Chain A
């Protein structure tokens, strides 16, 4: 789409666009370029010079057991976070949508955990499941279950998944609720007159009509679990135990800053860049499709 009316001159628009171009160049393009460039080198053991290795860093990474494990961890983590934030949200939205009065109040009560930072959510859940003082872990102990996410990888994964999904339920609820409110009442009425009960209406009419929203939320939640859950993992498990909760973004951080392995960290950044690129393409493809509805 283009404007018919344009203002004249070329100096003014260049000045207007200059701040954004400058900020992007210095803090975006240069670092991104550096990431790609560094991924082709390894530093010598004394850190004095860089040695060209071509795609060596990538070959090494893809054959590295821990890196491949991190891919699996990330996939598992993002699937679990996406499901455990979307399913409760859909359930709550469907329930709220049945109310004639009061759904606005519930909406207000449900949306605000979205405002809680992932890192703060991490601290809250860590407190509840802390092995020494946690309330939930204490009651589990009373029931004879010995909770210890510091040693047990499965429990650690469960805890970071729940802590990451918690605030996200609000977000998904908002979008599902808005989509449900937009379902034409007449369609539901017609089905009800034909004798379709609630669940039948839900499966055959409502859910298909929600599919654009559902697909959109799938992509957005996967992106969230890839990139924005760093705070949760850093506060609760720091990637442990034995790297069972080290997702890809966490590994870029721990190899680059803790391990000081710049070449490998840069190569990981480049791989992530490709992953983000693919997700973005999927997202845009979907939006194009939705416009035609």
Chain B
């Protein structure tokens, strides 16, 4: 039965207004830091270093964003945006591909060492990159992969969350489909392409959303392995814009960069809300 018919427990009149007031207050408090960042990205440096800064946007929007995007502090922010995009897409696509293949092998085949492989992959669930940074850094340096996209991407796809999700999903695909494919003489790969992949579309999309945000928001790993400003990602590059000495940081540029750093993941989350929520719930199960 529709919830609206159960009027008795929902609030009406004054109570309803109060509920909206609470929600709006909550939203405003959550929004406040971003509003300030946005305002700071539209005013001049002198507006900011004489506190209190203005509370409404100024007229420097175009100037500040243009100077951030095309000059930046150490490197143009446009370069950092591109690096972040390549890293985030690389991690999401790479992890999805290797996970689809290995989950398919584990679910649909019996092969020597299957159980061992399964448990080895399972173990990788347990250790975030933050814990093994020093030796992982040495491996990447040894391969000459510092300041490279492959160095940014590969160590972060070495975890099995996605493999597990796909394994769980493949186990729910009816056996009749595989049976029918075999009777028709279709090989395993044909079954994989024609049946398994199309059926996994939603799961793949949901996982892509989660992994894209995960990759985009990485901080420690790019901080360690991108020593050249040209390879900085935007999320770790913001901190590099602060001067080391006692000088004033150039806040309008830094805040414009912060806003630019949030836009892609926020668009993904809000634009693909359903997939995002599904991916979130799936990947935490």
Contacts and interface: CB of A to CB of B under 8 A. Distances in A.
A185 interface: yes
A170 B270 CA distance: 12
A125 interface: yes
A189 B3 CA distance: 11
Please give me the 5 A-B residue pairs with the lowest Cβ-Cβ distance, nearest first: A117-B217, A34-B135, A231-B219, A31-B135, A13-B109
A189 B133 contact: no
A193 B270 CA distance: 39
A115 B213 CA distance: 7
Given A9-B109, A95-B19, A276-B126, A135 B30 contact: no
Contacts of A102: 20
Contacts of B201: none
A292 interface: no
Contacts of B51: 132-135, 138
Contact of A110 (B30, B34, B98, B99): B30
21 contacts: A1-B171, A7-B109, A13-B108, A20-B102, A20-B121, A20-B163, A24-B158, A31-B132, A92-B22, A106-B26, A112-B270, A113-B34, A119-B217, A120-B238, A133-B53, A166-B30, A169-B30, A185-B3, A189-B6, A189-B9, A235-B238
B112 interface: yes
SS class, residues of chain A in contact with chain B: helix
Interface of B: 1, 3-4, 6, 8-11, 16, 19-20, 22-23, 26-27, 30-31, 33-34, 36-37, 40, 48-49, 51-53, 97-99, 101-102, 104-112, 114, 117, 120-121, 123-128, 130-140, 154-155, 157-160, 163, 171, 175, 178-179, 182, 187-189, 191, 213, 216-217, 219-220, 223-224, 235-236, 238-239, 248, 251, 254-255, 258, 261-262, 265-266, 268-270, 273, 276-277, 280-281, 284-285
Contact of B30 (A113, A134, A273): A113
Interface residues of A, number: 99
A166 B120 CA distance: 36
A48 interface: no
Given A10-B109, A116-B265, A287-B285, A230 B219 contact: yes
